[in-house]
Structure 1
Amino acid sequence: MILTQCAVCATELGLSLGKKCGRCSTRYCGPECQVQHWKEGGHDQLCKKIKRSGGAEQYHANNKYSEAVAVAATACAEDTKGQTCYICTQALHWKTKEGLVRGCSCRGTSGFAHVSCLVEQAKILIAEAEENNLLDKANERWLRWDTCGLCEQKYHGVVLCALGWACWKTYLDRPETEPVLSGAMSLLGNGLHEVGHLADALSVREADLAMMRRHGASEENILAAQSALAIACAAVRDLEKALSMERDVYSGRLRLHGEEHPQTLIAANNYASRLVGLKRFEEAKTLLRRITPVARRVLRESDELTLKMRSMYAQALCRDPAATLDNRREAVTTLEEVERTARRVFGGAHPLTEGIGGELRASRAVLEVALGARDVEALRELVGAMGTA
């Protein structure tokens, strides 16, 4: 399902074009590439092995998972030196021999684990919920796939990517109508996005939405898939398409849930982000003035989404070429407050804290030039150089 390219020439096949190997389901654009792969690409040696692994999709997922775990353990090696897994209490995993990771908001000596241990924990919890028909606990238990059970914050970066591949390889053979299959695709898309594999993330999002529409998923689930696809489109710089989709998702959430629902607030934040990215600052500020007070009331001041909204409003204030000196002062003051809160809640190494810190430094530079009124052209260049959301 996630394999959408010819194994030989990488022609994009979508979800249904081309043909498959009759034994292992490896995909090709046509018989010529299939013959070439058998004669020259080593497929004659791999075909039986791939079949024994469960087919091309399973084989691919298993390999990608192993690669992602190795990358995560290497990236976390310095932080995890001298520590042990809080699940199995060992430094080196007894079976896989993998090292430790930590990709959440835990600090000090908390939160160190093997990806394999985190995976096994999540699998057991989901299996228990399924076997005992614990539908009321299913969503709560699913969080173990991407949320730390200690600090209760999301995993990020290479650790999330490894967990995404783990989740996908665990559930990829489930029927399309089962929620866990779409959940696994969503988690994989998140992980790929986190590590900058943007084209792959886009492919996963497109496959997920197509699957949902094919089996008549609920409006709630389709809106979620559309939102994820819009983010993937924005990441590959298809901003106008992303904006249109985010607008539709926000309208759909308002109609379905009302303005105070967390999913509506997420949709509003995503829509505002696209507006800022396209430099439609007045529209972004108008939207954020309306939704941020709702987020601060319904969620909490230290909630990640509230912090994102406040940070984005400051960005819209400072990046607007028509901003006044007071606007830029307000932007810096807001970012200073938000950065302190993010650092306290998530730690200095969290992507949210780092992102807000970068925006704060850029906004201070703009304010310094504006206060000195030394060079109007320099001010324009600084504002123009500020990143887009």
Structure 2
Amino acid sequence: MILTQCAVCATELGLTLGKKCGRCSTRYCGPECQKKHWEEGGHDKLCKTIKKAGGAEQYNANKKYAEAVTVAAEACAEDTKGQTCYICTQALHWKTKEGLVRGCSCRGTAGFAHVSCLAEQAKILVAEAEENNLSDKVFDERWARWDRCSLCEQRYHGDVGCAVGWACWKTYVGRSETDWPRQGAINVLGSGLDAAKHHEDALSVREAELAMKRRLGASTSNILVVQTNLALTYQHLGRLEQAMQMQKDVYFGRLTTHGVEHTYTLTAANNYAASLVVLRRYKEAKSLLRKIIRVTPRILGETHEITLRMRWIYANVLYMDTSATPDDLREAVTKLEDTARTAQRVFGRAHPMVVELERSLRGSREALSARGGNG
């Protein structure tokens, strides 16, 4: 994670408190912990190594990346047997000897790769965009290679998402925080940590990102992006009221800035509705969704992830509400069947969203059956 804690006692330091080792920048809450770490914690032996790696933040990123790649390759081992990397065409990476991964929506023999190859591909594309001063649109398209598969265009999930997140962060952490790639990298890292359910670590990253954006005077739109991600992490950690209030603020901020039909506004509405459902505030969620659920497919398309998530949330509202009628329950089942079928076609059966959709479908059928319907 971003180094925001004392290396000895784990006191939270944020981005500015405490002191650093003069050689390698390892952080401490004060001289007592620094002295203890040198004399008892082994820092006297590691300090030169950390400095040689580029400092404490870079050393930590390199270490976490190596660990994450090992975990991802092991998690994908059964799926990747007998396959080769679509980038380097080898089974084992020639240099790192790492195994293959696949954490997107590719199926069959497509999409297998080494995390190192995915990272190198993204690094080269972004470097070319920077060197040739390409347009923002082209830069954004190339930057997407850091967290989306170039074949299926879907975001990496699970342990693969985490490994790619660390790859991105270790690539740009040494740059000035005013450089856009470093700012983008901290966002990719936070998303990767959340994807692998490392939510406490993701929280540290998200909070550090928000503090950085505010300190640098980022635009309102950029601040809203970070707040959206932070709210999602709050929700994962069970801080539900805090998450809901932040999602509400983001939604109205987007509505004011961009209008109801902008992609950012629709995404914010989806997140706000989801947080209301978690708190069982079904009436408010239903009212919000009815305003935008017809607009979303027209703007984003029938198979866009946000369109599918919005339909999923609306169906959940219909069958979870204790005041639901038999007609509501039947509608929920029908919507979830259609949405699950589409999501499976787009993302594949193993995708986390598809797994959760199928769970919701079972729940809606059980609710309908309990009311004497045809579950």
TM-score in terms of structure 2 length: 0.97
Residue 99 (structure 1) aligned with residue 90 (structure 2)? no
Match of 2:370 in 1: 369
Q: What is the CA-CA distance between 1:135 and the residue it aligns to?
A: 2.5
Residue 295 (structure 1) aligned with residue 325 (structure 2)? no
Match of 2:13 in 1: 13
Match of 1:342 in 2: 343
RMSD over equivalenced CA pairs, Å: 1.2
Match of 2:265 in 1: 264
Aligned residues: 373
Q: Distance in 2 between matches of 1:368 and 1:213?
A: 51
- Map 1:1-389 to 2 at 5 A: 2-136=2-136, 137-371=138-372
Q: What is the CA-CA distance between 1:34 and the residue it aligns to?
A: 1.0
Q: Distance in 2 between matches of 1:116 and 1:371?
A: 54
One-letter amino acid matched to 2:304: D
**Aligned partner of residue 337 in structure 2, secondary structure:** helix
Change over 3 Å in CA distance of 1:107–1:28 after alignment to 2: same
Q: Which runs of 5 or more residues in structure 1 are unaligned?
A: 374-389
Q: Distance in 1 between matches of 2:289 and 2:106?
A: 30
Q: Distance in 1 between matches of 2:237 and 2:59?
A: 28
Q: Distance in 2 between matches of 1:279 and 1:267?
A: 18
Listed one character per residue, the Cα deviations across residues 214-255 of structure 1 (whole Å, up to 9, x for unaligned) are 011111111111111111111111111111111111111111
Q: What is the CA-CA distance between 1:177 and the residue it aligns to?
A: 2.0
Deviates more, 1:16-25 or 1:118-127: 16-25
Match of 1:387 in 2: none
Q: What is the CA-CA distance between 1:35 and the residue it aligns to?
A: 1.1
Listed one character per residue, the Cα deviations across residues 125-155 of structure 1 (whole Å, up to 9, x for unaligned) are 0000000001331101001001111111111
TM-score in terms of structure 1 length: 0.94
- Structure 1 stretches of 4+ with a deviation exceeding 3 A read none
One-letter amino acid matched to 1:24: C
**Aligned partner of residue 69 in structure 2, secondary structure:** helix
Q: What is the CA-CA distance between 1:366 and the residue it aligns to?
A: 1.6
One-letter amino acid matched to 1:196: K
One-letter amino acid matched to 1:186: N
**Aligned partner of residue 242 in structure 2, secondary structure:** helix
Q: What is the CA-CA distance between 1:372 and the residue it aligns to?
A: 6.9
Q: Distance in 1 between matches of 2:140 and 2:272?
A: 26
Q: What is the CA-CA distance between 1:368 and the residue it aligns to?
A: 1.2
Q: What is the CA-CA distance between 1:371 and the residue it aligns to?
A: 1.2
Listed one character per residue, the Cα deviations across residues 161-186 of structure 1 (whole Å, up to 9, x for unaligned) are 00100101111122222221121111
Deviates more, 1:17-26 or 1:111-120: 17-26
- Whether the 8 Å CA contact 2:106–2:151 is kept in 1: the answer is yes
Percent identity between matched residues is 66
**Aligned partner of residue 85 in structure 2, secondary structure:** coil
